[in-house]
A and B are shown apart, each in its own frame.
Chain A
């Protein structure tokens, strides 16, 4: 089981137990847990609807690729701990991650 802690836009905190064979990115995974996720670009790292802040576990995440950096640079409220959840592949490596959702709640 992969454990990810999520604080939503309204401040509600939930610990998700994600099956290891889920084979989705984090944005898609959050959708399966019924988080409202607009995801205009559908997961291409272009729209920043799935913008989140990493509260804990930055070291568990893959390096940002250029597309993610470029998109985040265009988001005024992004900061050094910002990530796009669609660019994070869910797997055992990210278990223990804690994030706060910042994108629009649909």
Chain B
């Protein structure tokens, strides 16, 4: 188990979570960020890294990834620490008012303040509608490739038509004894090089390519054994499989945060707009994850929320100090 002690635990390393580090840093508060994704940037890096954003003040246009890179540079002086690829699970409030945030991956973050900047929630794998799919999770069904060696000399079925399905098909073709890629469409629109390579591998007989087909059922006795595939003419075929890896991208879900006793309205956390505090003292929610009358889900609104949150969080981190508001133009960015 990894234990981290900090002033503020920020859940979510999207643009608003990152900027919160800056605002907290100006007030000498240290931050640790936790994010379920393996990289920082949240939706910007995961969904639209190359898309332009036009409503960031001072930037007539900036690419999503460039904004994330800029924010990382801006907060560097404050030495934030990160637990990436980790999903928050539990929030525990201790008697002294501080918090322990626990992740599924067994990290514990002890902090005086918790800031939830979780966007639309945790990005989780999109699951195909197969009736007993969850029954086989961890028993042959997984939604990502963590350790390719697990598949050595095994029979694999991958499903999906995006870049990730193509790339893993190519990679695992050299490792598994048999690889079948099932795709709903009749062609691939992912990276042309990868698509070409997959077709080539199929022509060489090194993988089985099953196009215009969907997986409709899976079966096995405790462990996955067979995958039933149906094509557009309703013809069925059963494929023997040790593993099924559906690769249909990620979709956000609120996840365990929903069970922390926070006031929630339509998957968003209700906050007081004075400082974006929640109904749990010491827990704040900023960015797309919060809701209040007039809420706009804009990055720039999240930045504003981060600034106000930090002023209030100061009282929890330094209860004996008086806070005096300072401009960066007068005092600069004093790091620690």
Binding site for B on A (CB under 8 A): 36, 38, 40-41, 44, 46-49, 66, 69-70, 73-80, 104, 106
Contacts and interface: CB of A to CB of B under 8 A. Distances in A.
A48 B184 CA distance: 16
A46 B185 CA distance: 18
A66 B185 CA distance: 13
Interface residues of B, number: 28
B47 A74 contact: no
Contacts of B48: 41, 44, 46
8 contacts: A38-B252, A40-B120, A41-B48, A47-B251, A69-B189, A74-B162, A76-B127, A106-B266
Contact of A73 (B128, B184, B251, B252): B184
A79 B251 CA distance: 18
B162 A46 contact: no
Given A36-B266, A106-B266, A70 B189 contact: yes
B10 interface: no
Contacts of A44: 48, 51
B160 A47 contact: no
Nearest to A80: B232
A75 B188 CA distance: 14
Contact of A77 (B129, B266, B267): B129
B43 interface: yes
Interface in B143-168: 159-162
A46 B50 CA distance: 12
A73 B246 CA distance: 13
Nearest to A69: B189
B249 interface: yes
B159 A76 contact: yes
A74 B120 contact: no
A38 B120 contact: yes
B30 interface: no
